[in-house]
Amino acid sequence: MESQVQAQTEQLAHAATHDPLTGLVNRSAFIDACAAQIAARRAATDPGDVVVLFCDLDRFKAVNDTHGHDVGDRVLEVVAARLQTCVRAVDVVGRYGGDEFTVLLGDGVAVDGDVAGGTGASASTSRSRSMASTPTSA
C-alpha cells in the first residue's frame, strides 16, 4: 500500500511539472529552473550568465487549421524530441505553451571551442537552429 501511495505521489508531481503532450517540463517548472540557475549564478564566485532560448513555431496555426490538431500535436512532439537531442544533460528544455518552447542552457555562455560538434552552450544553440530548419513530416 505504501509503495502505491509513493508511486501515485510521484505521478502527481510529474504531472504538475511536465507537459502531458511532449513530456517536457512545463512553464512553471521551467521558470523554477531559471530561478534556481539565477540563484546559483549569484552565489558562485564566477557567476557567468544565464542563457535562455525562446523558440516559437512560425505558421503553426496554419498547420492546425489546415491539417487538424492531431497533426499539430505530432509536430509539437517531433519538435520537442528534436530539441532534446540538441542539448546537453545540464540544459532544460520546456514547453512554455502552445507552440512555444524554451531552453535553459545549464552552464551559461561557456563555449568549448568547437561550436559545430562541441558540447558548450553555443554548440547547443547552433544545433537547435539546425534542427529548426529541418522539415518534418507529421
State the SS3 of the chain.
CHHHHHHHHHHHHHHHHECCCCCCECHHHHHHHHHHHHHHHHHCCCCCCCEEEEEECCCHHHHHHHHCHHHHHHHHHHHHHHHHHHCCCCCEEEEEECCEEEEEECCCCCCCCCCCCCCCHHHHHHHHHHHHCCCCCC
Of the ranges 7-11, 58-62, 106-110, which one carries the lowest mean pLDDT score? 106-110
Residue 118 has pLDDT above 70, yes or no: no
Question: Which pLDDT band holds residue 8 (cuts at 50, 70, 90)?
Answer: very high
Of the ranges 19-33, 39-53, 72-86, 120-134, which one carries the lowest mean pLDDT score? 120-134
24: which 3 cell numbers?
A: 517536457
What confidence score (pLDDT) does residue 65 get?
96
Residue 137 has pLDDT above 90, yes or no: no
Give the total residue count for the chain. 138
pTM score, whole prediction? 0.77
pLDDT (mean) for 19-48 = 92
